[in-house]
Structure 1
Amino acid sequence: MKRILVGYDGSENAERALDFAIELASKFSARLFVVEVIDLTLFYNSGVLPPLEATKSLEEKAKKDVKKAIEKAKSKGVDTEGITLEGDPAHSILEFAKDNQVDVIVIGSRGLSKVQRIFLGSVSNKIVQESRIPVIVVK
């Protein structure tokens, strides 16, 4: 295991996934990719372009989140790279993993209720269902 990807958004569950991924990367002397995806699909799917201010705000938040995660990982001696992408989170993470020959994906569970899961699904569920590499879902 030489390349680990952690899906990150600054949430409590993402923090737990990051901590797990840092520990895993440290144990295997692996490179850690911290990936945050700016999800504008709700706007695009509704046919409405997102306001420029909203897009900039989301980009700034993502960059700040990733920077914080990189600092945390590097403070533990882990070789880390941060990436922000735009698009559908599950699809973007899976594409990045494929393009960068990632060995395992670590992602936090959102903890959606059964009803929410039926109607909305979750990023972690989509990744687990569609990934061709191992996925670790951290609760």
Structure 2
Amino acid sequence: MILLTPDLRERLLANGRERGADHVPVVKFFNPLGEGVWLATELDDDGDTLFGIADLGCPELGSFSLEELASITLPFGMGIERDILFTGDFPISVWAEAAREAGSIRAAERILYRARQARRDGVGRASS
């Protein structure tokens, strides 16, 4: 699988030129066979250094290497994959806080999207 399409690469590079902004993650990478989830908001001009949250058992905000992600070889000839359905939806600060509180990016994702759906359901009922 191609980890970054040209469009995703350009969006990450554009965010990388706006350091310090609370960007929404552009892409989610994951290990399809176990632990390992990465949310990236920015890409440096070097084309390799991503910024976001890395979760290998403990979510941490920081930098990680696209080349290293692409070089990971998993059993059955698999590798790290890109979640093609991921939309980000929340600023990286929200993801980081939720992941720290929940213990993982995967748990944070469930919590954030359930909370958003509950708010939408509540708004729909109130306006009926």
Tell whether the structures are fold-level matches, with TM greater than 0.5. no
Greater relative contact order structure (CA < 8 Å, 6+ sep): 1
Q: Which of the two has greater helix per residue?
A: 1
Larger-gyration structure (1/2): 2
TM-score normalised by length of structure 1: 0.27
